[in-house]
């Protein structure tokens, strides 16, 4: 059976020593969110995840969700665990106090997403989607809609979904056919079918609030004609309690490769009553609030799987006796050495660890930037932070989930044949991780978003939010003995990123296929530079702590050694990525379709 222990020491190192999370408590409205308080909150969440959720992960996978006569039931233990999760206030952590929330910073959500995904990714889907629905309604809903729905989403008695995809279209939402017909009472009759709706139907909450994309009768073609509607499973009575059943029903659930305890539903809307969120034909702007929150949540799923896979693979590598060290027996009194003596085993473990820790720092930094964008009194600072998050969202979603799946596969490989056997748990991590590369915009779509939208946006303003501070930090790091060597290596990778950016911009203007052909490699190149930036910061923080660390010296020494591995073994990938980008579109576009 796999195990999980929330890496609280690593989390605190990133938040407190590397990112300076105490700055968040200086923002208006976050004054009480001191590092000590955040630590207490996260330690309690860790206990809940380890004791309540992780033990349900394997059983939930084996039992899965069941569907009968339109009713979806989650696996044994999920309802009771969700009730305890809700009663403990976890659904309200970062929500607006005006609607019953605790008002903690958004960065806490990022840590929670990681821990929940490590402990039980399927369980984490339910409250995660509800929070996305909360965000969309909080930013775009009318006062009446917010008064009705937000308190119940915040306290977790109601849950939320987002209904985008239809059977004939996936990412191309301009093709949707779901209709919204205006009614005399100001509501709309919603009719259509949505597929792949996570948590579309289940038994955890007393009501489910669907946010549905649909088109009004006068809608222009394409995405400009999409509107957003809130469609509850049960219509609310005057006192806000669930009343009559609305015209929405689950037609079936998908039989999936992974996250089997998360219900993925086909949802049929048959004249269901819904209410407009935001402006008519302005649904994409409102839905992107939810989608971007979901994309960052999915990014943290990749990290969460990488972390739990690493923890279990390390323990196995220390326990499993097989073969002898190439330099002579390390445990001569035993029949064989533990496999952790072998260089290739160590390489795989360090690869996972280096990307876990680097991605954790980048993910938490994004969370802090969201807090800055929401709360900073200076509008310029808010805009800069918002730009940075917009730029990094497709990078984090794609890279974290790509490497998270690779991490699960590498960890599984260390088990040999046991990694293929269910009882060891590694094959579930592989299966669960795979979906994160697909949903909330497949990773190739994220890469196209980066090169096609984010790079040229506002005449390159978003890029400057990354390039300028990194350039400044590199100059300072060159003068610091603790980081000078790393800074030199990162500066070369940064130079490749700058050259690749100019090449993609120039070639893409003349032939969009050039930008498309470069997009995935460009995103990974960008991500490695970003993670390298985080490792430079972590190395600086660890080096500063090490001289006075006393009994904790091994912790900081391990940070420095992991940083050295990243720079020696992972960052050099930027060279091959750069070469691939510069080869252009011709090698992949030369063949005709008939030649495939």
Residue 132 to residue 115: CA distance in whole angstroms: 18
What are phi and psi for residue 570, nearest 5 degrees?
Answer: -115, -50
Look up residue 191 and give its two tokens: 């009719």
Catalytic residue list contains 485:
no
Helix axis angle, 484-510 to 573-582, nearest 10°: 20
Contact by Cβ (8 Å): 229, 180: yes
Q: Which of 166, 427, 440, 514 is catalytic?
A: 440
Residue 260 to residue 422: CA distance in whole angstroms: 14
DSSP-based three-state secondary structure for 316: helix
Within 10 angstroms of residue 177's Cβ, the number of other Cβ atoms is 13
Tell me the residue ranges of DSSP E strands in 451-583. none
Sort strands 264-277 and 71-73 into parallel, antiparallel or unpaired.
unpaired
Long-range contacts of 24-31 (CB under 8 A, 24+ apart): 24/105, 24/107, 24/368, 24/371, 27/105, 27/371, 27/372, 27/375, 27/376, 28/375, 28/377, 29/103, 29/375, 30/103, 30/104, 30/105, 30/371, 30/375
Within 10 angstroms of residue 564's Cβ, the number of other Cβ atoms is 16
Torsion on CA atoms 123, 127, 133, 134, rounded to nearest 10: -170
Contact by Cβ (8 Å): 535, 563: yes
Burial class (CB in 10 A: 0-12, 13-18, 19+), 591: exposed
Task: Give Cα 278 to chain centroid, integer Å.
Answer: 26
C-alpha dist (Å) from residue 434 to 300, 309, 402, 427, 485: 14, 13, 9, 11, 36
Angle, CA of 577, 580 and 586, to the nearest 5°:
155
Residue 376 to residue 364: CA distance in whole angstroms: 17
DSSP state of 269: E
Residues with active-site annotation: 440
């Amino acid at each position: 059976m796999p195990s999980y222990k929330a890496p609280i020491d690593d989390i605190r190192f990133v938040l407190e020593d590397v990112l300076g999370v105490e700055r968040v408590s200086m923002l208006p409205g976050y004054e009480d969110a001191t590092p000590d308080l955040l630590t207490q909150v996260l330690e309690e969440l860790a206990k809940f995840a380890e004791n309540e959720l992780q033990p349900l992960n394997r059983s939930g996978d084996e039992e899965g969700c069941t569907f009968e006569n339109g009713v979806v039931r989650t696996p044994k233990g999920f309802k009771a665990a969700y009730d305890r999760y809700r009663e403990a206030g976890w659904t309200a952590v970062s929500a607006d106090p005006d609607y019953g929330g605790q008002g903690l910073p958004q960065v806490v959500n990022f840590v929670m997403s990681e821990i929940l995904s490590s402990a039980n990714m399927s369980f984490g889907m339910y409250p995660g989607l509800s929070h996305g629905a909360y965000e969309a309604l909080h930013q775009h809903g009318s006062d009446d809609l917010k008064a009705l729905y937000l308190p119940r989403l915040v306290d977790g008695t109601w849950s939320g979904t987002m209904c985008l995809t239809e059977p004939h279209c996936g990412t191309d939402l301009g093709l949707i056919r779901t209709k919204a017909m205006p009614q005399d009472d100001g509501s709309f009759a919603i009719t259509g079918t949505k597929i792949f709706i996570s948590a579309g139907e289940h038994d955890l909450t007393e009501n489910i609030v669907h946010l549905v994309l649909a088109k009004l009768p006068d809608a222009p073609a394409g995405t400009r004609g999409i509107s957003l509607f809130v469609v509850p499973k049960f219509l609310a009575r005057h006192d806000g309690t669930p009343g009559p059943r609305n015209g929405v029903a689950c037609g079936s659930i998908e039989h999936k490769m992974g996250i089997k305890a998360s219900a993925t539903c086909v949802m049929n809307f048959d004249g269901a009553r819904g209410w407009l969120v935001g402006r008519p034909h302005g649904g994409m702007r409102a839905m992107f609030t939810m989608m971007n929150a979901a994309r960052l949540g999915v990014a943290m799923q990749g990290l969460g799987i990488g972390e739990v896979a690493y923890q279990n693979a390390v323990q196995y590598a220390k326990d499993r006796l097989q073969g002898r060290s190439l330099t002579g027996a390390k445990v001569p009194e035993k029949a064989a050495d533990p496999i952790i003596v072998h260089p290739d085993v160590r390489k795989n473990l360090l690869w996972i660890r280096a990307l876990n820790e680097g991605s954790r720092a980048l993910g938490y930094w994004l969370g802090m930037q969201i807090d800055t964008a929401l709360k900073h009194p200076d509008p310029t600072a808010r805009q800069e932070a918002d730009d940075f998050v917009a730029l990094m969202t497709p990078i984090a979603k794609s890279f974290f989930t790509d490497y998270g799946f690779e991490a699960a596969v590498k960890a599984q490989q260390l088990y040999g044949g046991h990694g293929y056997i269910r009882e060891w748990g590694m094959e579930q991590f592989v299966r669960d991780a795979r979906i994160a590369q697909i949903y909330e915009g497949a990773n190739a779509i994220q890469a196209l978003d980066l090169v096609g939208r984010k790079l040229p946006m506002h005449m390159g303003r978003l890029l400057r939010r990354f390039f300028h501070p990194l350039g400044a930090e590199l100059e300072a790091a060159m003068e610091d003995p603790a980081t000078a060597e790393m800074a030199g290596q990162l500066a070369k990778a940064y130079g490749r990123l700058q050259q690749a950016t100019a090449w993609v911009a120039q070639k893409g203007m003349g032939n969009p296929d050039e930008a498309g052909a470069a997009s995935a490699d460009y995103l990974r190149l960008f991500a490695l530079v970003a993670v390298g930036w985080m490792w430079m910061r972590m190395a600086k923080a660890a080096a500063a702590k090490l001289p006075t660390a006393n009994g904790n010296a091994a912790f900081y020494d391990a940070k420095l050694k992991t940083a050295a591995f990243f720079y020696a073994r992972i960052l050099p990938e930027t060279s091959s990525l750069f070469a691939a980008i510069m080869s252009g579109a011709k090698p992949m576009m030369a063949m005709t379709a008939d030649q495939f």
